[in-house]
Amino acid sequence: MILSTTPTLEGKVIREYRGIVVGEAILGANVFKDLFAGIRDIIGGRSGAYEKELARAREIAFDELKERAAALGANAVVGIDLDYEVVGQNGSMLMVSVSGTAVVI
């Protein structure tokens, strides 16, 4: 599965558009509480634990996106947009959302 933030793929012809696909992952408040407990790994203003958890959420969202594109018979997703949003009461959860257009090249 080819993934791209651009609307086209250089050297490839998009033969069919199969539709918009989305992948999402939500990190709940418990994750953040657990991370605060292990916040000792902050060096230079960065938290390796937070970054690792965000990377995991992003991976889950991209995996969902690829599965949904494959279910539509696509072999690529173009125009990908990646968003991070705070959701839930008092912003207690973080949502990672990735969307794009499933295509056949």
State the helix-helix crossing angle for 29-37 and 48-71, rounded to 10 degrees.
150
Beta partners for residue 43, in sequence order: 46
Which residues touch 88 (CB under 8 Å, ≥6 apart)? 28, 29
Looking at residue 49, its pLDDT comes to 64
In terms of Cβ atoms closer than 10 Å to its own Cβ (0-12, 13-18, 19+), residue 60 is: middle
The separation between CA 98 and the C-alpha centre of its own chain, rounded to angstroms, equals 4
Mean pLDDT of 55-75: 96
What residue ranges define each of the domains in the chain, with the CATH number in brackets? 2-104 (3.30.110.70)
Distance, in Å, from the CA atom of 43 to the CA atom of 19, rounded to the nearest integer, reads 43
Residue 19: both structure tokens together? 């539709």
65 close to 103: Cβ distance less than 8 angstroms = no
Higher per-residue pLDDT: 87 or 43: 87
pLDDT score at 46: 59
**Is pLDDT above 90 for 38?**
no
Q: Is the pLDDT of residue 68 over 70?
A: yes
8 A C-beta contact, residue 24 and residue 62 = no
Q: Does residue 90 surpass a pLDDT of 90? A: no
